[in-house]
């Protein structure tokens, strides 16, 4: 029978009983501003969610004080710490998670699916995707019908660039538990393969399956992101606002701030971003705030944000979290270009997906090695993802190579996809495209 993720005959679904929710869906994977890695990097923090997890941690700690040999309790505590790290951007929770999960595995080394699952989630959070895959496969042997295990594997395979593995894991996750987590992963898969309509319908289906306010907010945020990434500011704002009616989620506030910036309402956007980075200093928010300050002519304040980001990345590394992809992109635009290339090459050595291919191409470009960069742009765009930043990077590489026709083609594609794709780069794309067209 036709799989959910395959493009042909889209209405034939393995999990046909769910057709009552939304019939006819034929359609998955956010960065960051076109670089989103929604399942592993984009947080969705809000006070209700954080307080609920902290309450769970307190209860588990009390239980483990009474029952220190409870392997399941230690596994649950470790997983709770992973989630806290995700929503607070506090890397110290990674060490706590590692300790709790190690304790669980020491108590029960074999057939400990919950601890193995937690280790896989922790490895994904630290961007050690090879280890995440290995732990996911161990967890799968212990829990062969666990949707959560397939989620860990889907994230790991996606980031490793294993498209077949990612597709199979997402499909298996849908088969076992067609819920918000599985539909949103399906949406990301479709988006990165150039199937935007299918991605949107998958998110609609996730929204239909959502029950808790956090789940509704999560779906609304990604529906807003799909709209924003296609240049539809009105729809993006509508989705972010609808989510905020349910819960005051930081990601939705970031979406509103991004829309305000795209519309040129710098005062509102700057105020919103300032509040975001003070309350939840996620790398994405700090980077966007810095670039917005720079665009507003406040270069010294922007530089201060980029320095904060650099220090934060050092703290993350000290806790065992490596993200040379994000670091390379920041350094290529705001720092040491040679180091940006070193980081991108290191990341490519660990995982070869489209995001890393684009980052490596861009790092090669800013170091003046455009002929070497172009083949990596081919790899970045091989799946058909209609990504404005990818198109912009390719256009600038062609421009540097003295290929004006191709440069015009891809710069126009970037702006047609999303004229607001970057506070820093969209104005450059507009300027260079105008120059190319006036010189014809």
Query: Which string of b and e fits 2-38 if b means at least 16 CB within 10 Å?
Result: ebbbeeeebeebeeeebeeebeebbbbbbbbbbbbbb
Q: Which of 164, 161, 139, 163 is nearest to 149 (CA)?
A: 139
pLDDT of 17 higher than 80: no
pLDDT of 422 higher than 70: yes
pLDDT digit string (tens) for 98-124?
Answer: 999 999 999 999 999 999 999 999 999
Q: For position 4, what pLDDT does the model report? A: 67
Residue 51 confidence class, pLDDT cut points 50, 70, 90: confident
pLDDT of 47 higher than 70: no
The domain locations on the chain are 210-263
Sign of CA dihedral 364, 365, 369, 373: positive
Report d(CA 360, CA 347) in Å as an integer: 9
Distance, first Cα to last Cα, the chain: 53
Q: For position 440, what pLDDT does the model report? A: 63
Residue 49 near residue 252, CB atoms below 8 Å: no
Higher pLDDT, 88 or 371: 371
Query: Which string of b and e fits 193-210 if b means at least 16 CB within 10 Å?
Result: bebbebbbbbbbbbbebb
Mean of the per-residue pLDDT values of the chain:
89
pLDDT of 30 higher than 50: no
Most confident option among 19-28, 311-320, 396-405: 396-405
pLDDT digit string (tens) for 276-319?
Answer: 999 888 889 999 999 999 999 999 999 999 999 888 888 877 87
Q: For position 188, what pLDDT does the model report? A: 97
- Rounded (10°) CA dihedral 374, 310, 338, 428: 50
Q: For position 40, what pLDDT does the model report? A: 36
Q: For position 411, what pLDDT does the model report? A: 98
Q: For position 322, what pLDDT does the model report? A: 75
Report d(CA 193, CA 136) in Å as an integer: 24
Side-chain half-sphere CA neighbours of 258 within 13 A: 35
């Amino acid at each position: 029978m036709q799989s959910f993720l395959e493009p042909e005959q889209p209405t034939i679904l393995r999990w046909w009983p769910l057709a009552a929710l939304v019939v006819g869906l034929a359609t998955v994977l956010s960065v960051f501003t076109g670089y989103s890695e929604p399942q592993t990097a984009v947080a969705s923090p809000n006070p209700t969610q954080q307080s609920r997890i902290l309450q769970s941690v307190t209860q588990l700690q009390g239980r483990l004080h009474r029952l220190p040999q409870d392997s399941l309790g230690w596994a649950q505590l470790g997983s709770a710490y992973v989630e806290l790290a995700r929503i607070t951007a506090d890397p110290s929770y990674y060490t706590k998670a590692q300790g709790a999960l190690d304790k669980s595995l020491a108590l029960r080394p074999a057939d400990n699916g919950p601890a193995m699952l937690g280790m896989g989630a922790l490895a994904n959070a630290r961007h050690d995707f090879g280890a995440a895959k290995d732990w996911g496969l161990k967890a799968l042997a212990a829990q062969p019908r666990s949707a959560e295990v397939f989620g860990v594997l889907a994230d790991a395979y996606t980031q490793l660039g294993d498209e077949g593995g990612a597709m199979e894991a997402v499909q298996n996750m849908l088969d076992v538990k067609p819920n918000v987590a599985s539909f949103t992963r399906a949406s990301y898969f479709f988006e990165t393969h150039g199937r935007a309509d299918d991605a949107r319908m998958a998110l609609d289906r996730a929204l239909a399956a959502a029950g808790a306010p956090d789940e509704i907010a999560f779906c609304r945020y990604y529906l807003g992101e799909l709209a924003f990434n296609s240049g539809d500011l009105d729809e993006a704002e509508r989705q972010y606002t609808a989510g905020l009616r349910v819960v005051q989620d930081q990601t939705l506030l970031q979406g509103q701030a991004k829309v305000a910036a795209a519309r040129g309402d710098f005062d509102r956007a700057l105020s919103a971003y300032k509040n975001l980075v003070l309350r939840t200093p996620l790398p994405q928010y700090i980077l966007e705030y810095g670039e917005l300050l720079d665009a507003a002519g406040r270069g010294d304040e922007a530089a201060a944000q980029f320095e904060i980001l650099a220090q934060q990345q050092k703290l993350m590394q000290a806790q065992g979290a490596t993200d040379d992809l994000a670091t390379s992109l920041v350094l290529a635009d705001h720092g040491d270009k040679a180091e940006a290339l070193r980081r991108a090459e290191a990341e490519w050595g660990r995982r070869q997906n489209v995001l890393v291919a684009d980052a490596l191409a861009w790092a090669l470009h800013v170091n003046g090695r455009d002929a070497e960069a172009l083949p990596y742009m081919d790899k970045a765009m091989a799946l058909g993802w209609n990504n404005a930043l990818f198109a912009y990077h390719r256009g600038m590489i062609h421009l540097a190579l003295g290929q004006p026709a191709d440069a015009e083609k891809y710069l126009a594609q970037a702006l047609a996809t999303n004229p607001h794709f970057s506070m820093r780069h969209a104005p450059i794309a507009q300027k260079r495209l105008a120059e190319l067209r006036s010189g014809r």
